[in-house]
Amino acid sequence: MGLSYSSSKKEYLSDFINLNADFSNHFFIALAGNPNTGKSTVFNSITGLHQHTGNWPGKTVVSTYGEFSYKTKDFIIVDLPGTYSLLASSPEEEVARNFLCFSKLDACIVVIDATCIERNLNLVLQILEITDKVIICLNLMDEAKKKNIKIDINLLSKKLGVPVIPTSARNNIGISNLKDSLYNMCLNKISTNPFKVNYNEKISSTLNYMEPIFKKLFPNKINARWLSLRLLDGDLTLLKTLSNYLNHDFYKLIKGDYFEG
């Protein structure tokens, strides 16, 4: 089965993970983060033993998803490969990028290391370009405390424009708050205003030209700003996936057929 925006949620996600039951009434969550942020520990704390593993279709990259319930709602959470970016220079990055862009997620949790926040922000900002429905899991707070690192959680949340939940997953601290925030976000009880990078005048002008075109071509199907940025980056690995997903010839598009004048 190929990618298709018109597919049901279960059918569509089957392009990425093996769903052996009907999860049509579940919320679907992505769990992303750099390597060594304790992401897998967060995943285990959230899901317990309700986990399934396999491989991403066509990849040697391991796929893992788990199930959990919270306040009468059911969730599927997919543990994405640990990556430093979504620029698809490795199979892991390509898997993470495609899943975040094309799998009709209800929310994304991004796990970052409280002892080195700056190093994690590259991935955070890239994900914020794709979706507004992001929760930052500020993990390893116990390690930050040992190193006498003080973090203004409210200020960080204000700057990023999304919820920031401090956790120490190995001690199961903050996981209930994380689930509560996730629950409220999936029910649209949380509004976000994600930070967006300000680009130079030339890039901004080009984005202002491209975004309306993509919004018109693909309404409500993909983030037009993110798509414009990736094409400006020359991300050729994305073109085939985009062509399949949107049923559109992106090779023809970037040659100028849609951008003459």
Secondary structure (DSSP) of 57-84: TTSSSEEEEEEEEETTEEEEEEEPPP-S
Residue 3 belongs to a domain: no
For the chain, the domain total comes to 2
Q: Rounded to whole angstroms, how far apart are CA atoms 174 and 170?
A: 10
207 and 168 in a single domain? The answer is: no
140 and 14 in a single domain? The answer is: yes
Q: What confidence tens digit (pLDDT) does each residue in 214-239 have?
A: 888 878 778 889 888 888 887 777 77
Residue 4 belongs to a domain: no
Q: Rounded to whole angstroms, how far apart are CA atoms 258 and 251?
A: 11
Query: Of 144, 162, 186, which marks where a domain is finished?
Result: 186
Q: What is the pLDDT of residue 18?
A: 58
113 and 232 in a single domain? The answer is: no
134 and 77 in a single domain? The answer is: yes
Q: What is the pLDDT of residue 150?
A: 96
Residue 1 belongs to a domain: no
**C-alpha to C-alpha distances, 145 to 8, 18, 109, 113, nearest whole angstrom:** 45, 40, 22, 12
Q: What is the value of pTM for the model shown?
A: 0.87
**CATH (domain of 120):** 3.40.50.300
Low-confidence ranges of the chain (pLDDT < 50): 1-8, 261
DSSP 168: B
Query: CA triplet 92, 97, 103: central angle to 5 degrees?
Result: 120
Instruction: Supply the range of the domain harboring residue 217.
Output: 201-257
146 and 172 in a single domain? The answer is: yes
Q: What is the pLDDT of residue 115?
A: 98
170 and 121 in a single domain? The answer is: yes
- Using only C-alpha atoms, what is the Rg of the chain? 18
Helix (H, G, I), strand (E, B) or coil at 138: strand
169 and 222 in a single domain? The answer is: no
- With 0-12 / 13-18 / 19 or more C-beta atoms within 10 angstroms meaning exposed / middle / buried, residue 88 is buried
Kindly report the backbone phi and psi dihedral angles of residue 223, in degrees, each rounded to the nearest multiple of 5, phi listed first.
Answer: -70, 110
154 and 244 in a single domain? The answer is: no
Residue 181 belongs to a domain: yes
